[in-house]
Amino acid sequence: MADETHSSELAKRIGPQLGADRMRNPTALEANAARVIFEPASVDEICEVVRMCETDRITLAPIGAARTLSQIRRSPVAVGISLKRLSRIVAYEPDDMTVVAEAGLTVSDFNAIAAASRQRLPVDPPNPQVTTLGSLIGASHAGPLRLSEGTARDLLIGIRFVGHGGRVIHGGGRVVKNVAGYDLMKVMGGAFGTLGIITEATFKVRPIPPQYRLAILPYERAADAFGAASALNFALPMSHVEILSPSLGARLDAPNKFLLMTGFSGTSLEIGYQAEKIRELLGDAGEILDVQPSRERYEMLRDFDWTAMPLAAQIATRPAGLERALNACGVEFRAHAGSGVAQMFVGTTPTTSDARKIVARWREIAHAERGHLRVLAAADVVRNDLEMFDQPNEGALRLMRRLKSTFDPASIFNPACFVAGI
User: What CATH number has the domain bearing residue 145?
Assistant: 3.30.465.10
Assess if residue 105 is contained within a domain. yes
In this prediction, residue 2 carries a pLDDT of: 59
Q: Report which of 394, 325, 385, 324 is spatially closest to residue 355, judged by C-alpha positions.
A: 385
Give me the tens of pLDDT residue by residue for the chain, a chain 422 residues long.
556 666 666 666 666 666 778 889 999 899 999 999 999 999 999 999 999 999 999 999 999 999 999 999 999 999 999 999 999 999 999 999 999 999 999 999 999 999 999 999 999 999 999 999 999 999 999 999 999 999 999 999 999 999 999 999 998 876 555 444 447 888 999 999 999 999 999 999 999 999 999 999 999 999 999 999 999 999 999 999 999 999 999 888 777 899 999 999 999 999 999 999 999 988 888 899 999 999 999 999 999 999 999 999 999 999 999 999 999 999 999 999 999 999 999 999 999 999 999 999 999 999 999 999 999 999 999 999 999 999 999 999 999 999 999 999 999 999 999 999 99
Domain span at 72:
2-82
Distance CA 393, CA 409 (A): 23
**Residues 356/385, Cβ–Cβ less than 8 Å:** yes
- For helices 352-368 and 322-329, what crossing angle results, to 10°? 160
Specify whether 93 is located in the same domain as 197: yes
Distances (CA, A) of 157 to 176, 184, 208, 362: 6, 10, 20, 35
Distance CA 86, CA 38 (A): 12
CB atoms within 10 A of CB 251: 13
Residue where a domain terminates, one of 59, 82, 105: 82
**Residues 331/387, Cβ–Cβ less than 8 Å:** no
Residue where a domain terminates, one of 152, 179, 207: 207
In this prediction, residue 358 carries a pLDDT of: 98
**Residues 50/84, Cβ–Cβ less than 8 Å:** no
**Residues 192/138, Cβ–Cβ less than 8 Å:** yes
Distance CA 337, CA 297 (A): 18
Say how many residues make up the chain: 422
In this prediction, residue 6 carries a pLDDT of: 61
Q: Which residues contact 278 (CB under 8 A, 6 or more apart)?
A: 215, 232, 236, 262, 264, 288
Distances (CA, A) of 281 to 19, 231, 274: 63, 8, 10
Residue where a domain terminates, one of 49, 82, 115: 82
- For helices 268-282 and 222-235, what crossing angle results, to 10°? 140
Assess if residue 404 is contained within a domain. no
Specify whether 289 is located in the same domain as 379: no
Specify whether 199 is located in the same domain as 221: no
Assess if residue 414 is contained within a domain. no
In this prediction, residue 284 carries a pLDDT of: 80
CB atoms within 10 A of CB 296: 12
Specify whether 283 is located in the same domain as 325: no
Specify whether 106 is located in the same domain as 163: yes
**Residues 301/192, Cβ–Cβ less than 8 Å:** no
Q: Report which of 69, 252, 242 is spatially closest to residue 143, judged by C-alpha positions.
A: 242
Specify whether 76 is located in the same domain as 94: no
| Count of structural domains, the chain | 4
In this prediction, residue 179 carries a pLDDT of: 47
Amino acid at 55: T
Assess if residue 394 is contained within a domain. no
Distance CA 273, CA 281 (A): 12
Burial 146-165 (b: 16+ CB within 10 A, else e): bbbbebbeebbbbbbbbbbe
Distance CA 422, CA 401 (A): 7
